């Protein structure tokens, strides 16, 4: 087949060829048991001439004859879409549908074939119909062009892409129809040199169409047709082999027993099968070279995926013909496809091949060439592709372990720690197949041995070695979860793990090192947790799922097994490793997963007493916080009132706490009474005891020991003397915090008295004052502890404490005063917003490595998050967030997510106040720049550009819905305008206000204003402007010009006339003020401070205040063609030129002459102003002249070069033409031969590189 000569792919409809079929050959047994003798035995029937074909297609026959199909009449040679409708509904058996079509084909093949052609056209979503006239006289390319013109442009959908259950089933029905059609026609009709030639020619032409629907549908049909033909070719090959064997067997008989007639029959049969095989190969070559070779690199990923999926089926089904390098190279090349869907099909196709070990020899060259690509795909950005790549490598590993190098395997090994669970599970299976699935022959005799001598012992050691070599010692839970599905028996062999830890090594066996024992204990803990909780570790799952009945039973069985084993073994393990803090910490977590009822039902009380004794000894030996907290949690897990062991455990716990409290009070009394400097030994004793009490107070209510008083004395002494060791202060603060929280829980749950509330309130206020004092401590660790606890206390005792019907707790509400808020904010600015190198105090004695830097950053993020939580819940004033927001750009990489979330939450609480806070942060940065560089700074400097960029980022956070943020944006502009004109220039009005450059920053928010609100803001801006300001063109006035232009963008053509009309009305009101006007267009400070907000919110109705008015319809008189004003009327009423008060009055003639000259100058200046403004609007790259599309206007930035923000993340594929445009349908005279752009699909490294 492979060497068969290429035949033309553009078949014309045969007019004079012969057709070969009989009336019954296409209903014979598919397996070939009753197969006829082939074409040689079929009767030959000449093809009808044009006249005869026309007669048979005019519907003149009897009902049920050639003029009917499925009982429906034919009209003008066109069947009434019945075949398409039947396949679309999918209710009829496809076998009967195909049989009806074959019956129709035998009566009149032209009408039946026309029906089949229309079936493919209609399956593409085309409403056009191929008529008999077109079928007789037009070539395929002409028919396709005609059908292209008949396409419906209203929708880009077609049956293969339409949504809905009916259309989802259509694809499978469509594919099934093609397969059944070939299967039913495989004995004669497909060899008649008419039906298949016509169908292949049509599908080849459609697959080259520019219309996606044609290309997609025809490619799918052609590929399924090819698959069906491959199946036919495979059956022919099998029959030929059987015939050849029969022929050889008959010929090898002795002459007397040889049947010559049978030999001739077999020889004839073999010849006919060979002819059929040659015809099938020609058809397959035509489809492969006419459709596949072009479409496997189509611009549409779905079409490429279809081709790759089908070629995988061909190679798997008929490996003798297709599984060679000539076809494998297409799959190899397409593994570099840019679309994950196509890469996924490549991998699944290869999995079907590698799964069959008999095909491995044919895949050796392909594996050597593309192995590196497959390995690299394990890190694919599409997780589904990565999973299938790992599974494919697992199959490669099973076929031949020598193929994958150690480096290849290591690339997969580390994926067991992936956060994406399917990837990790696939990598875990690969790891298990590579390292754990092999079993030595001598292990067969010890399968029934248990413990250290079990066959799993070596595998457990291997797992420990792998875990240590991976150097990810904090991720044992992820390793266990990755292998949980494939190595459950190994991971649940806790008896073996326990034996490796407790029993002595056998003769000649190398014992585990200390590091290996720690790793084994950690892995054992993770396996017990996984079995008891039945869910993946944090970050691997979407949440706890509902367990099935079988999973629940397994969970209970595992917990019982764990408890029975470790209730006895845990005290022994703790006794052996009691001095090792790391091992003890992990071992003490095991009782959390026990079934405590077994202690009673299993008569294991003596082992419980042994466990309690070991825990008590560990508390006395250790001062490590992790160990002490693990002991505290173990007591908490065992002190469960539901079980009978509660009293036994509670007595042991109370005795331990009594001893610790008495010891602490005694040591503290001696420690505080010493007149001289405290002794180091006494300080160590106080600290170690305080650590133990604090660790237990975290999980247990120790209120009856009254620990507040002694801790208060300790902290107060530290404030007065200033020489208290920092660790004592830190743990005393933490312990006092726990005391207050437990008391709060007590008064919340029970009916507390007023005295309890007052006592708690007093203690809480005193504790907050102590924490506030320690905020100024010289030690950084103490300050961080005081800040964290203070934020927690303020959050807990805020107004939120009364939610949920707890109004009785109102006396406990505590609101921080301004001084405390300032101190908290100062701490954040001094300890969070710092450079990494400056944070040397928090890493005392530590090396400056990456681990310490990450830990320090994590600590600073927690501090910032604690303060931002106070802002979000309105515990502190929202304007304090201005100092946080202004750091957004500078510290974006470290805290950008926290600051952005804070902005979002504050905007949800109060949009207007949030906008005021944002503009305040910009004003603070502007003032800082002024203090550093002075008022004559360069507006192109990095500092000023950074402030503008920050304003642009702030503007983006407001989103696209301008109506929701309308009031907030308007208030933001109001505050910005007032700030810009707040400081007049000492040199006079001819010089710009000192903060005028701030308008350049404010213009970044202009795009967020609605069209009518821009005019309102412009009117407000005019309040602060003088007439001379509007005429200035010097560089120092550019911020004002830029800001005005941003407000005028999107207005009418005669923008200035419109604005002048509004300004005149606004100025009329202003001119009625009793206070004489001055040359400054500035609101007096006293009036501004008292009524600026009310002036903004309660202006005249003509100003369309966004806060007061709804969005007006675009029918206002302002939007109509404005009345043309005379030049002398335009600005004189808006900006009257008042004489200076110190000048002497002029006589009447002088006044008249001055007024005339003034009008002439104003007229000339106005003309210049209008011209300049219109030119600025037209040439401004950042201004929109039409705001009919607010979304586009909204994302346009007011600085050049911002369009990349709009395009970020978008992938435009302009090659796809879903439907042809209507204007140039008739102009299409030819179709593109290959609709493909290689650069848009594959990496450049693949193109032009030969496969082998």
- Please, what is the average pLDDT of the chain? 77
- Mean pLDDT of all residues in 255-269: 81
pLDDT digits (tens, 9 = 90+) for 483-496: 999 999 999 999 99
pLDDT at 1060: 36
- Mean pLDDT of all residues in 333-356: 94
pLDDT at 1158: 59
Q: Is residue 972 scored above 90 in pLDDT?
A: yes
What stretches of 61-154 adopt beta strand conformation (E)? 68-69, 72-73
Residue 1106 structure tokens: 């966004």
pLDDT digits (tens, 9 = 90+) for 793-822: 999 999 988 888 888 888 889 999 999 999
Q: Is residue 1245 scored above 80 in pLDDT?
A: no
Which of 105-114, 586-595, 1158-1167 has the weakest average pLDDT? Answer: 1158-1167
- Would you call 690 helix, strand, or coil by DSSP? helix
pLDDT confidence of 1023, banded at 50, 70, 90?
confident
C-alpha to C-alpha distance for 1118 and 1102, rounded to whole angstroms = 10
C-alpha to C-alpha distance for 78 and 130, rounded to whole angstroms = 8
Percent of the chain with pLDDT over 70: 73
DSSP, residue by residue, 234-289:
HHHHHHHHHHHHHHHHHHTS-TTT--HHHHHHHHHHHHHHHHHHHHHHHHHHHHII
471 Cβ contact partners less than 8 Å away, ≥ 6 residues apart: none
pLDDT at 920: 95
Nearest 5°: phi and psi at 737? Answer: -60, -45
- Mean pLDDT of all residues in 577-594: 94
1107 Cβ contact partners less than 8 Å away, ≥ 6 residues apart: 967, 970, 971, 1096, 1097
Percent of the chain with pLDDT over 90: 46
pLDDT at 1050: 59
Give the H or E element holding residue 305.
Answer: helix 301-317
pLDDT confidence of 1112, banded at 50, 70, 90?
very low
pLDDT at 897: 94
DSSP, residue by residue, 485-512:
TT-HHHHT-HHHHHHHHHSPPPTTPPPP
- Mean pLDDT of all residues in 1027-1042: 80
pLDDT at 293: 94
C-alpha to C-alpha distance for 542 and 838, rounded to whole angstroms = 39
- Mean pLDDT of all residues in 42-67: 37
Q: Is residue 1119 scored above 80 in pLDDT?
A: no
Contact at 8 Å (CB) between 218 and 121? Answer: no
C-alpha to C-alpha distance for 1097 and 1108, rounded to whole angstroms = 7
- Mean pLDDT of all residues in 79-106: 77
pLDDT digits (tens, 9 = 90+) for 392-432: 999 999 888 888 999 999 999 999 999 999 999 999 999 99
How far from 195 is each of 12, 115, 403, CA to CA, in Å?
Answer: 12, 12, 47
pLDDT confidence of 603, banded at 50, 70, 90?
confident
Q: Is 81 left (phi over 0), alpha (psi -120 to 50) or beta?
A: left
Q: Is residue 592 scored above 90 in pLDDT?
A: yes
pLDDT at 1063: 38
Q: Is residue 59 scored above 60 in pLDDT?
A: no
- Mean pLDDT of all residues in 123-134: 86
Which of 142-146, 738-742, 874-878 has the weakest average pLDDT? Answer: 142-146
pLDDT digits (tens, 9 = 90+) for 267-286: 888 899 999 999 999 999 99
pLDDT digits (tens, 9 = 90+) for 911-941: 999 999 999 999 999 999 999 888 888 888 9
1103-1107 long-range CB contacts below 8 Å, 24 or more apart? Answer: 1103/1016, 1103/1019, 1103/1020, 1103/1062, 1103/1066, 1104/1012, 1104/1013, 1104/1015, 1104/1016, 1105/970, 1105/1016, 1106/966, 1106/967, 1106/970, 1106/1010, 1106/1012, 1106/1013, 1106/1016, 1107/967, 1107/970, 1107/971
pLDDT at 677: 64
CB atoms within 10 A of CB 763: 17
pLDDT at 1165: 54
Give ∠ CA 304-1231-310 in degrees, rounded to 5. 20
Q: Is residue 1174 scored above 80 in pLDDT?
A: no
At which residue do the structure tokens 């101190």 appear? 823
Higher pLDDT, 772 or 249: 772
pLDDT confidence of 450, banded at 50, 70, 90?
low
Residue 1186 structure tokens: 């039409």
Which of 520-534, 537-551, 685-699, 1078-1092 has the weakest average pLDDT? Answer: 1078-1092
Which of 414-423, 655-664, 670-679 has the weakest average pLDDT? Answer: 670-679
Residue 208 structure tokens: 């080259």
């Amino acid at each position: 087949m492979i060497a068969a000569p290429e035949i033309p792919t553009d078949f014309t409809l045969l007019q004079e060829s012969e057709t070969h079929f009989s009336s019954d050959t296409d209903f014979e047994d598919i397996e070939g048991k009753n197969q006829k003798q082939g074409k040689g035995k079929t009767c030959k029937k000449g093809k009808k001439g044009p006249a005869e074909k026309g007669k048979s297609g005019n519907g003149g026959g009897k009902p049920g004859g050639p003029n009917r199909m499925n009982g429906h009449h034919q009209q003008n040679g066109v069947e009434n879409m019945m075949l398409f409708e039947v396949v679309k509904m999918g209710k009829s058996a496809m076998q009967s549908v195909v049989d009806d079509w074959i019956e129709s084909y035998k009566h009149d093949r032209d009408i039946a074939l026309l029906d089949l052609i229309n079936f493919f056209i209609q399956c593409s979503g085309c409403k056009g119909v191929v008529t008999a006239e077109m079928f007789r006289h037009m070539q395929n390319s002409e028919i396709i062009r005609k059908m292209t013109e008949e396409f419906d442009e209203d929708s880009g959908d077609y049956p293969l892409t339409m949504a809905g259950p009916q259309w989802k089933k259509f694809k499978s029905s469509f594919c099934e129809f093609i397969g059944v059609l070939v299967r039913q026609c495989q004995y004669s009709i497909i060899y008649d040199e008419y039906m298949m030639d016509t169908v292949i020619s049509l599908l080849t032409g459609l697959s080259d169409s520019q219309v996606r629907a044609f290309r997609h549908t025809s490619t799918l049909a052609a590929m399924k047709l090819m698959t069906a033909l491959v199946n036919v070719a495979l059956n022919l090959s099998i029959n030929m082999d059987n015939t050849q064997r029969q022929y050889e067997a008959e010929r090898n008989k002795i002459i007397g027993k040889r049947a010559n007639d049978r030999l001739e029959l077999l020889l004839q049969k073999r010849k006919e099968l060979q002819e059929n095989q040659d015809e099938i190969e020609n058809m397959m070559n035509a489809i492969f070279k006419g459709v596949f070779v072009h479409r496997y690199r189509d611009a549409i990923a779905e079409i490429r995926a279809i081709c790759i999926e089908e070629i995988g089926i061909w190679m798997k089904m008929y490996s003798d013909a297709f599984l060679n390098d000539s076809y494998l190279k297409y799959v190899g090349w397409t593994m570099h496809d840019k679309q994950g869907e196509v890469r996924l099909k490549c991998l699944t196709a290869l999995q079907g091949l590698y799964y069959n070990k008999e095909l491995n020899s044919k895949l050796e060259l392909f594996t050597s060439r593309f192995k590196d690509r497959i390995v690299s795909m394990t890190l694919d950005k599409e997780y589904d592709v990565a999973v299938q790549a790992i599974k494919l490598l697992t199959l490669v590993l099973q076929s031949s372990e020598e193929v994958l190098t150690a480096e290849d395997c290591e690339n997969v090994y580390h994926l067991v720690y992936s956060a994406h669970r399917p990837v990790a599970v696939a990598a875990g299976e690969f790891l298990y197949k590579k390292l754990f699935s092999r079993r030595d022959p001598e292990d067969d005799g010890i399968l029934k041995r248990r413990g250290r001598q079990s066959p799993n012992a070596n595998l457990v050691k291997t797992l420990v070695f792998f875990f240590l070599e991976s150097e990810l010692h904090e991720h044992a839970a992820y390793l266990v979860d990755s292998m949980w599905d494939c190595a459950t028996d190994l991971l649940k062999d806790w008896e073996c793990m326990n034996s490796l830890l407790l029993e002595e090594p056998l003769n000649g066996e190398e014992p585990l090192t200390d590091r290996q024992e720690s790793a084994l204990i950690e892995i054992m803990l993770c396996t017990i947790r996984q079995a008891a909780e039945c869910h993946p570790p944090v970050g691997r799952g979407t949440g706890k799922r509902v367990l099935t009945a079988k999973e629940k039973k397994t969970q209970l069985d595992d917990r019982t097994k764990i408890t029975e084993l470790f209730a006895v073994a845990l005290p022994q393990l703790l006794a052996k490793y009691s001095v090792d803090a790391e091992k003890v910490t992990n071992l003490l977590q095991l009782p959390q997963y026990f079934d405590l009822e077994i202690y009673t039902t299993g008569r294991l009380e003596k082992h419980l007493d042994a466990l309690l004794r070991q825990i008590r000894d560990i508390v006395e030996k250790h001062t490590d916080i992790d160990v002490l907290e693990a002991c505290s949690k173990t007591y908490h897990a065992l002190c469960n009132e539901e079980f009978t062991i509660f009293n036994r455990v509670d007595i042991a716990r109370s005795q331990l706490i009594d001893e610790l409290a008495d010891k602490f009070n005694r040591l503290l009394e001696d420690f505080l009474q010493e007149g001289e400097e405290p002794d180091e030994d006494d300080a160590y004793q106080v600290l170690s005891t305080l650590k133990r009490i604090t660790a237990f107070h975290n999980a247990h209510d120790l209120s009856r020991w009254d620990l507040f008083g002694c801790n208060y004395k300790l902290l107060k002494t530290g404030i007065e003397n200033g020489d208290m060791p920092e660790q004592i202060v830190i743990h005393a603060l933490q312990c006092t915090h726990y005391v207050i929280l437990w008391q709060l829980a007590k008064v919340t749950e029970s009916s507390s008295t007023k005295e309890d509330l007052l006592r708690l309130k007093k203690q809480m206020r005193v504790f907050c004052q102590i924490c506030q004092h320690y905020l100024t401590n010289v030690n950084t660790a103490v300050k961080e502890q005081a800040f964290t606890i203070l934020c927690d206390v303020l959050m807990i005792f805020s107004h939120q404490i009364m939610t949920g019907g707890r109004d009785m707790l109102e006396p406990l509400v505590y609101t921080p005063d301004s001084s405390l808020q300032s101190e908290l904010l100062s701490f954040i600015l001094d300890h969070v917003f710092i450079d990494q190198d400056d944070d040397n105090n928090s890493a005392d004695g530590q090396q400056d490595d990456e681990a310490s830097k990450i830990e320090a950053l994590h600590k600073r993020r927690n501090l910032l998050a604690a303060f931002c939580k106070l802002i979000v819940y309105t515990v502190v004033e929202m304007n304090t967030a201005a100092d946080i927001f202004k750091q957004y750009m500078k510290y974006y990489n470290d805290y950008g997510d926290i600051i952005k979330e804070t902005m979002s939450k504050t905007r949800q609480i109060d949009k207007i106040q949030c906008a005021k806070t944002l503009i305040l942060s910009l004003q603070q940065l502007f003032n800082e720049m002024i203090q550093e560089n002075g008022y004559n700074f360069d507006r192109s400097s990095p500092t000023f550009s950074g402030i503008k960029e920050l304003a642009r980022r702030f503007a983006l956070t407001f989103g696209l819905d301008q109506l929701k943020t309308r009031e907030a944006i308007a208030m933001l502009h109001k505050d910005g305008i007032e700030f810009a004109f707040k400081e007049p220039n000492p040199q006079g009005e001819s010089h710009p206000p000192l903060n005028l450059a701030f308008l350049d920053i404010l213009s970044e928010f202009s795009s967020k204003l609605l069209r009518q609100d821009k005019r309102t803001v412009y009117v407000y801006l005019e309040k602060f402007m003088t007439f001379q300001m509007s005429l200035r063109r010097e560089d120092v006035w550019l911020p004002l010009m830029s800001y005005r232009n941003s407000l005028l963008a999107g207005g009418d053509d005669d923008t200035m006339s419109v604005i002048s009309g509004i300004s005149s009305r606004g100025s009329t009101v202003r001119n009625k003020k009793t206070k004489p006007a001055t040359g400054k267009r500035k609101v007096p400070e006293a009036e501004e401070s008292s009524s600026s907000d009310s002036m903004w919110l309660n202006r005249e109705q003509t100003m369309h205040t966004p806060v007061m008015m709804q969005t007006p319809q675009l029918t206002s008189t302002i939007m109509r063609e404005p009345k043309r004003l005379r030049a002398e009327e335009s600005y004189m009423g808006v900006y009257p030129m008042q004489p200076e008060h110190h000048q002497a009055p002029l006589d009447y003639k002088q006044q008249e002459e001055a007024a005339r000259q003034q009008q002439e100058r104003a007229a000339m200046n106005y003309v210049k102003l209008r011209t300049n403004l219109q030119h600025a609007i037209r040439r401004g790259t950042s201004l929109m002249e039409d705001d009919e599309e607010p979304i586009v206007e909204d994302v346009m930035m007011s600085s050049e070069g911002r369009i990349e923000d709009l395009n970020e993340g978008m992938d435009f594929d302009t090659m796809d033409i879903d439907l042809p445009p209507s204007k140039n349908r008739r102009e299409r005279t030819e179709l593109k031969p290959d609709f493909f752009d290689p650069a848009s699909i594959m990496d450049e490294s693949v193109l032009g590189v030969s496969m082998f």
